[in-house]
Amino acid sequence: MKKQIRKIAIATLVGAVLASASWAQSALIDGTVTKVDAAASKITIKHGPIKKLDMDEGMTMVFTAKDKSLLDKVKAGDKVKFDADNVNGQFIVTAIEKAK
């Protein structure tokens, strides 16, 4: 009986982890990089609405990279998925990856 309960608990935990990973992937914002300024830790991205940042319309805007190394992953013209936050009125890219 204990083994069966343990198997159920493990299966439930694995399911929850996979579901949260899937949600995190879908929560990323679609965009296209138009410019990278690594020296200034800035990236310009054309993107659609970003509800979590109260942006109801798509636009092209400049973000600051949380970490300069994020900018090594992309170049102008790349389609990307990214995450961003508003930190004291400054829009920060916290994660970025090339879209598949």
7 vs 24: CA distance, rounded Å: 26
Give the whole-number percent of the chain exceeding pLDDT 70.
74
20 within some domain: no
Residue 92 has pLDDT above 70, yes or no: yes
Structural domains of the chain, count: 1
Q: How much is the pTM?
A: 0.73
3 within some domain: no
Residue 3 has pLDDT above 80, yes or no: no
Q: Where are the alpha helices (DSSP H) in the chain?
A: 2-27
Average pLDDT over residues 52-78: 95
87 within some domain: yes
As a whole number, the mean pLDDT across the chain is 85
Residue 27 confidence (pLDDT): 84
Residue 67 has pLDDT above 80, yes or no: yes
Summarize pLDDT for 6-49 with one digit per residue, the tens: 666 565 555 555 444 444 445 899 999 999 999 999 999 999 99
90 within some domain: yes
39 within some domain: yes
The two beta strands, 59-65 and 79-87, are unpaired
Residue 100 confidence (pLDDT): 85
**99 — phi, psi (to 5°)?**
-75, 150
Domain limits for position 61 = 29-98
76 within some domain: yes
Q: Where residue 79 sits, what CATH number does that domain have?
A: 2.40.50.320
CB under 8 Å to 68, separation ≥6 — which residues?
38, 41
68 within some domain: yes
Taking CA 89 as the corner, what is the angle to CA 88 and CA 90, rounded to the nearest 5 degrees? 95
CB count in 10 Å sphere of residue 74: 21
